[in-house]
């Protein structure tokens, strides 16, 4: 601007436009004496075309020019601020779900600046679940992450970690060094430290260097740094640990200048402490991004294991566009450093922490009070149009139900659709159903599987479930060619029977076997090998989930194999299963007859199950007993397990409706007899899920493409879980009534739950 308008040019404002930046600027000669402030010159780079002054016009006095320009700047700033406020307020009125979403994301630690910028673009007419999913996708799209680890570890890399004191730079350097040594060997790495202030800092790094057998150099100024750099081979990697400097310390600029004068390009990564407050992280990023040194190449987020919320750190990375290279989740060297994709980071940030109280985020009551002060009258025209639309839809929608539910209202239909959004298993099944019916699916199977595991983890955390039940089951299906086969799956449920998601499927047909984890073979494994494969894979890839594996039947050999994996398990067995009690051979049923059974509280242990053994849960009483027995096998040590016996008794006449037996490697205090009995009932009732999945498998279209059969299996099993939730859920009464009416029934028999669910999905598409 000074080149174009002269040394007295003044920039009034600037903003981004397509292809560049629009700058509003002026100079003393561009404002005639009788000109209005609005005639200031606007220019768009790269060419600046200043307006020539009117011939003979005189510029105002210097003091007057300054006053005019100042007024222009203040007016422009005030106008832009007011427009921003109006846009945000209008968005809240047009999309009321933005209010709830705004509060929710604030609770996860994201800033108001980021949320306002993002939620201004929130589409209208979205349900709460869909709005949350939209926000998640926006965060995933805009969160900068390193493409892959290989993009960082280039030959001759010189990498420096910078940041305030106590964020974990030295420990992170050691973790990075271990990764580098695994790639190039000790000869390919050199460690440097400029931290000569903190007591024992360079000694700590030297210890790490001795363990890795790599050289460590201590430098105090730019001359020593340049001298050491000159002695390092061009192909060697250099990792530089720096003294921590507060973001308010003037020595930040000195440190940046020293790294810039190293005589070799040095990439700088900012280390962000995830447990810091969001305002602190913003100040740190702003200070280090403007310290006069080379631009920051990205960041490493540390101490996420200590942070109550991850949102503030991700928010900072988005706003300052700092690609996240690694995340540190503990003090252990070298294992507590992980490389995560954007979706995984966002999902971790959006998981509820039951122990963390949102003391620094407004509650729903706060939002309600604030919104009541600024709530604008509803658009009468818009409300009338929506009412007319509902009136047109209602007769057609209700005609689908025939005459079985003539009293259904539009509110009932909306409540049924809301049930889809509110229940984890049902909403995930709906999303998968839409993906398959919408056309080709570009998402990878692996991304779906990882997402399902995070869904279960988040739901368990939100519902306060200490354990997650992994139900392993199988059912017969048909291939597209009509050949018979087997679908085996692992279903994840809450400790009280809440349906979550499915994370593992296996398909067996005459032409071969394949697993959702990528394994495949020409011949199908045995039933025992297939179950062991599922349990082992879950342990290796989702060991963070507090799983209890629920098995159907099996042999003593299988139970022993699973027991050696160190996991918790409960196997439903028959009364004829051989066990040893008091050193004598007997059967599970015989031992159960000698035990004293006690009633357990159904609402307390199984609040979500509306039915058991085909009867309403309120008509039944559960009696449970347990005792330690032993499994005896030749050339194997005796295995002590807990025998669980459950009797479902009719409350009216005292008759035993059903008897269940189970064996588990769990006992007090890890799991009480009542808890094991409740899980055994869940294991028996969840059998219906896989049966629903088989019916839905036949009705889902083939999508084509890579891994299509596995994706179809995933969608089928998740929909089976959702159908079970619809049939069983104590809070699904309205949705169950609507779904039953869609298939011409007053109630929802088990045989119609699966097709009724798919029609309920179609109904949601029509209503919304």
Structure tokens at 416: 């049924």
Peptide bond before 46: cis, by omega within 30 degrees of 0? yes
- The answer to whether position 45 is within a domain reads yes
Tokens of 201: 């800092």
Pairing of strands 296-302, 324-328: parallel
Tally of helices (H runs) and strands (E runs) in the chain:
26, 26
pTM of the model: 0.59
* 189: its two tokens: 């790495």
Half-sphere exposure of 66 (CA within 13 A, CB side): 2
- Same domain, residue pair 156 and 84: no
- Cα–Cα distances (Å) from 622 to 314, 526, 660, 673, in that order, read 48, 35, 11, 12
Residue with the two structure tokens 């058991």: 612
Residue at 539 is within a domain:
no
Contact 700, 650 (CB under 8 A): no
List the Cα angle 112/117/118 in 5-degree steps.
100
Pair 175, 250 in one domain: yes
717 and 661 within one domain: no
What per-residue confidence (pLDDT) applies to 509? 87
Nearest to 735 by CA among 423, 398, 432, 413: 413
Q: Are 212 and 315 within one domain?
A: yes
pLDDT at 47: 40
Burial of 642 (0-12, 13-18, 19+ CB in 10 A): buried
SS3 content of the chain, % helix, strand, coil (to 5): 45, 20, 35
Please, which residues have CB within 8 angstroms of residue 696's CB and are 6 or more apart in sequence? Answer: 715, 716, 719, 720, 723, 754, 757, 758
Give the SS3 label for residue 157: coil
3-class DSSP state of 172? helix
Q: What's the CA gap between 539 and 533, in Å, rounded?
A: 10
- Centre a 10 Å sphere on the Cβ of residue 432 and count the other Cβ atoms it contains: 24
Between CA 441 and CA 712 the distance in angstroms is 11
How does strand 584-587 pair with strand 189-193? Answer: unpaired
Q: pLDDT tens, 409-425?
A: 777 777 888 888 888 89
Looking at residue 60, its pLDDT comes to 46
Q: Can you list the residues of the chain whose pLDDT is less than 70? A: 17-19, 28-96, 196-202, 352-408, 438-442, 481, 602-604, 702-706, 766-768
- 535, 520, 420, 449: which is closest to 766 by C-alpha? 420
Three-class SS state of 267:
strand
Same domain, yes or no: 569 and 650: yes
Cβ neighbours of 236 (radius 10 Å): 18
Whole-number Å distance between alpha carbons of 621 and 615: 11
Contact between 633 and 555 (Cβ < 8 Å): no
Residue 722 region, left (φ>0) first, then alpha (ψ -120 to 50), else beta?
Answer: alpha
Domain boundary among 670, 685, 700: 685
Nearest 5°: CA angle at 530, between 529 and 531? 95
Q: Which of 88, 110, 132 is the last residue of a domain?
A: 88
For 348-391, the DSSP string reads HHTS--TT---TTS--HHHHHHHHHHHPPPP-HHHHHHHHHHHH
* Full residue range of the structural domain in which residue 302 is found: 149-340
pLDDT at site 97: 74
- Cα separation of 90 and 80, whole Å? 15
Q: Where in 510-655 does DSSP place strands (E)?
A: 512-515, 520-521, 547-552, 568-573, 578-581, 584-587, 598-600, 611-612, 615-616, 620-633, 636-650
In a domain, 514, yes or no: no
Q: Specify the pLDDT at position 616.
A: 86
- Quickly count: other Cβ atoms within 10 Å of residue 147's Cβ: 9
Choose among 742, 602, 737, 746: nearest CA to 674: 602
Give yes or no for a contact between 255 and 245, defined as CB atoms under 8 angstroms apart: yes
pLDDT of residue 654: 87
Q: Report yes or no on 96 lying in a domain.
A: no
> Are residues 756 and 680 part of one domain?
no
> Distance of CA 413 to CAs 166, 721, 767, Å?
55, 22, 8
Q: Residue ranges of the alpha helices (H) in 232-341?
A: 251-260, 278-289, 311-319
Q: Chain centroid to CA 127: how far?
A: 19
Antiparallel, parallel or unpaired: β 547-552 and 568-573: parallel
Helices 753-767 and 380-399 cross at an angle (nearest 10°) of 150
Last residue of a domain, one of 280, 312, 340: 340
Q: CA distances (Å), 80 to each of 69, 73, 75, in order?
A: 17, 11, 9
Same domain, 763 and 633: no
Q: What is the DSSP letter of 337?
A: E
**Domain-located, residue 477:** no
Phi/psi at 437 (5° precision) = -90, -10
- Domain assignment present for 461: no
Strands 189-193 and 20-26: what pairing?
unpaired
User: Does a structural domain hold residue 136?
Assistant: no
Cβ pair 693, 719 in contact under 8 A:
yes
Pair (252, 333) in one structural domain:
yes
Question: By C-alpha distance, which of 505, 563, 530, 574 is closest to 719?
Answer: 505
76 plus 184 within the same structural domain: no
The candidate with the shortest Cα–Cα distance to 583, out of 634, 632, 642, is 632
In-domain check, residue 164: yes
Q: How many domains is the chain built from?
A: 4
Q: Specify whether 643 is located in the same domain as 575.
A: yes
Do 306 and 165 share a structural domain?
yes
Taking CA atoms, 417 is separated from 436, 468, 500, 536, in Å, by 19, 27, 18, 38
What are phi and psi for residue 393, nearest 5 degrees? Answer: -75, -35
Taking the C-alpha atoms of residue 662 and residue 652, their distance in angstroms, rounded to an integer, is 26
Rg (CA), the chain: 33
The H-assigned helical ranges of 483-601 are 527-541, 556-563, 588-593
**CATH number of the domain residue 157 falls in:** 3.40.50.300
Q: Are residue 680 and residue 717 in the same domain, yes or no?
A: no
Residue 421: predicted pLDDT: 86
Alpha carbon 563 to its chain centroid, in Å, reads 31
3-state class of 703 per DSSP? Answer: coil
Q: Is the dihedral of CA 433, 439, 445, 450 positive or negative?
A: negative
657 neighbors 582 (Cβ within 8 angstroms): no
Write b or e for each residue in 667-678: b if 16 or more Cβ atoms lie within 10 A of its Cβ, otherwise e: eeeebbbbbbbb
């Amino acid at each position: 601007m000074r080149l174009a308008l002269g040394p007295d040019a003044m920039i009034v404002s600037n903003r981004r436009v397509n292809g560049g930046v629009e700058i509003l600027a002026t100079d003393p000669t561009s404002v005639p004496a009788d000109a209005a402030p609005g005639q200031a010159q606007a220019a768009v780079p790269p060419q600046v075309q200043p307006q020539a002054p009117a011939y003979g016009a005189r510029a105002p006095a210097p003091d007057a020019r300054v006053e005019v320009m100042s007024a222009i700047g203040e007016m422009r700033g005030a106008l832009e601020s007011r427009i921003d406020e109006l846009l945000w307020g209008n968005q809240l009125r047009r999309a009321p779900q933005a209010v709830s979403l705004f509060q929710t994301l604030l609770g996860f630690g994201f800033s108001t600046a980021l949320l306002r910028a993002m939620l201004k673009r929130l589409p209208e007419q979205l349900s709460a679940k869909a709005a949350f999913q939209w926000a998640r996708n926006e965060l995933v799209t805009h969160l900068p992450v390193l493409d892959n680890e290989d993009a960082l570890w280039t030959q001759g890399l010189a990498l420096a970690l910078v940041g305030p004191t106590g964020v974990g730079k030295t420990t992170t350097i050691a973790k990075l060094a271990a990764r580098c040594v695994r790639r190039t060997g000790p000869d390919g790495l050199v460690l440097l430290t400029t931290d000569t202030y903190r007591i024992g800092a360079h000694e700590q790094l030297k210890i790490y260097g001795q363990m890795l057998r790599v050289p460590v150099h201590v430098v105090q100024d730019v001359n020593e740094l340049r001298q050491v750099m000159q002695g390092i081979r061009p192909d060697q990697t250099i990792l530089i640990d720096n003294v921590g400097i507060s973001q308010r310390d003037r020595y930040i600029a000195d440190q940046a200048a020293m790294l810039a004068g190293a005589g070799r390009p040095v990439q700088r990564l900012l280390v962000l402490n995830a447990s810091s407050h969001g305002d602190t992280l913003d100040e740190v990023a702003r200070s280090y991004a403007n310290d006069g040194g080379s631009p920051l190449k990205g960041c490493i987020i540390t101490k996420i294991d200590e942070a109550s919320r991850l949102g503030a750190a991700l928010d900072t990375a988005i706003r300052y566009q700092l690609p996240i290279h690694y995340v540190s989740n503990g003090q252990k060297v070298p294992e507590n450093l992980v490389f995560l994709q954007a979706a995984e980071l966002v999902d971790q940030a959006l998981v509820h922490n039951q122990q963390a109280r949102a003391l620094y985020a407004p509650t729903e009551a706060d939002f309600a009070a604030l919104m009541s002060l600024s709530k604008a009258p509803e658009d009468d025209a818009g409300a009338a149009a929506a009412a007319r639309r509902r009136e047109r839809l209602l007769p057609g929608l209700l005609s689908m139900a025939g005459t079985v539910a003539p009293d259904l209202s539009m509110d009932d239909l909306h409540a049924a659709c809301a049930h889809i959004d509110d229940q984890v298993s049902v909403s995930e099944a709906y999303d998968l159903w839409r993906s398959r019916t919408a056309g080709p699916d570009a998402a990878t199977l692996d991304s779906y599987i990882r997402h399902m595991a995070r869904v279960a983890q988040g739901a368990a955390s939100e519902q306060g479930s200490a354990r997650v039940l992994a139900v392993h089951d199988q059912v017969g299906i048909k291939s597209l060619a009509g050949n018979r086969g087997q679908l085996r799956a692992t279903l994840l449920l809450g400790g009280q029977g809440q349906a979550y998601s499915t994370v593992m499927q296996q398909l067996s047909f005459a032409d071969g076997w394949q697993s959702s984890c990528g394994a495949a073979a020409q011949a199908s494994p045995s039933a025992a090998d297939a179950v062991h494969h599922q349990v082992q894979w879950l342990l290796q890839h989702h060991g963070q989930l507090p799983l209890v594996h629920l098995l159907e039947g099996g042999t003593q050999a299988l139970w022993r194999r699973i027991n050696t994996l160190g996991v918790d398990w409960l196997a439903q067995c028959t009364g004829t299963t051989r066990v040893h009690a008091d050193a004598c051979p007997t059967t599970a049923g015989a031992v159960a007859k000698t035990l004293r059974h006690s009633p357990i509280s159904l609402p307390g242990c199984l609040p979500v199950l509306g039915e058991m053994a085909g009867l309403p849960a309120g008509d039944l009483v559960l009696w449970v007993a347990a005792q330690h027995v032993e499994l005896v096998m030749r050339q194997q040590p005796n295995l002590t397990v807990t025998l669980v016996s459950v009797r479902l008794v009719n409350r009216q006449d005292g008759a035993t409706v059903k008897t269940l037996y189970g064996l588990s490697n769990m006992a007090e205090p890890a799991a009480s007899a009542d808890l094991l009995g409740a899980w055994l009932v869940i294991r028996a009732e969840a059998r219906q899920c896989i049966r629903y999945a088989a019916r839905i498998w036949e009705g889902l279209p083939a999508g084509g493409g890579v891994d299509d059969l596995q994706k179809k299996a995933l969608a089928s099993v998740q929909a089976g879980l959702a159908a079970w939730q619809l049939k069983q859920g104590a809070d699904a009464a309205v949705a169950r009534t609507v779904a039953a009416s869609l298939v011409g029934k007053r109630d929802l028999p088990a045989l119609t739950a699966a097709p009724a669910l798919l029609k309920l999905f179609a109904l949601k598409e029509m209503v919304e």
